[in-house]
Amino acid sequence: MIWDDKAHGGDLWQHLRQPKRRSKHRAQAKSAGLGKIPNRVGIEHRPAEVDDRRFIGHWEGDTVIQGHKQSGLVTLVERRSGYLLAARLPRISAELTKAAMIRLLKPRRGAVQTITLDNGSEFADHEAVAKAVTAATYFCDPYCSGQRGTNENTNGLIRQYFPKGTDFR
């Protein structure tokens, strides 16, 4: 209805929270980046209780990136409560991401059981994070961001205030 209104000269589309995105059709999901993550454990090995969202302690992580990994944010969202932790990254690297995640999660390590991440190379040091906060890390399937839906939704809300192209340096 909104897009029909726009086609007929209306302005309803200007009041949307986010602009309409073009859908990107991926012909075939590749294993991009999987070789860069040592000892990667897939989401299929994650305990079933995580899906129920009955208990706190299960986190989802991702990065909000400016440009081609120039700068960004690392975001961690607790699945049950929606509690958000975020840290600024002056540039995207595995070392900086690891340090930021440990800094955010270490004070809450009693409330961190699992962390589900995407397959970005910035999470290559996941084992050091898991050891520092005594948690298990899991990775979702390539191009299946819906497996970390809470985090993707939260990143969308962050993008409302920091649109694409925002320099986080």
Q: How many domains does the chain have?
A: 1
Higher-scoring residue by pLDDT: 23, 67: 67
pLDDT of residue 166: 86
Residue 13 lies in a domain: no
pTM for the whole structure? 0.79
Q: Which domain holds residue 153?
A: 37-161
Mean pLDDT calculated for residue range 38-51: 92
In angstroms and rounded to an integer, the radius of gyration of the C-alpha atoms of the chain is 17
Residue 134 lies in a domain: yes
pLDDT of residue 55: 92
pLDDT of residue 28: 46
pLDDT of residue 69: 79
Higher-scoring residue by pLDDT: 33, 127: 127
Please say whether the beta carbons of 75 and 154 come within 8 A: yes
Query: CA–CA separation, 138 vs 41, rounded Å?
Result: 5
Residue 17 lies in a domain: no
Q: What is the CATH number of the domain that holds 42?
A: 3.30.420.10
Residue 5 lies in a domain: no
1: how many CB neighbours lie within 10 A of its CB? 7
Q: Give the model confidence (pLDDT) of 58-80 as tens digits.
A: 999 999 998 887 899 999 999 99
DSSP 40-81: --BGGGS-THHHHT-SS-EEEEEEEEETTTTEEEEEEEETTT
Q: Mean pLDDT in the chain?
A: 87
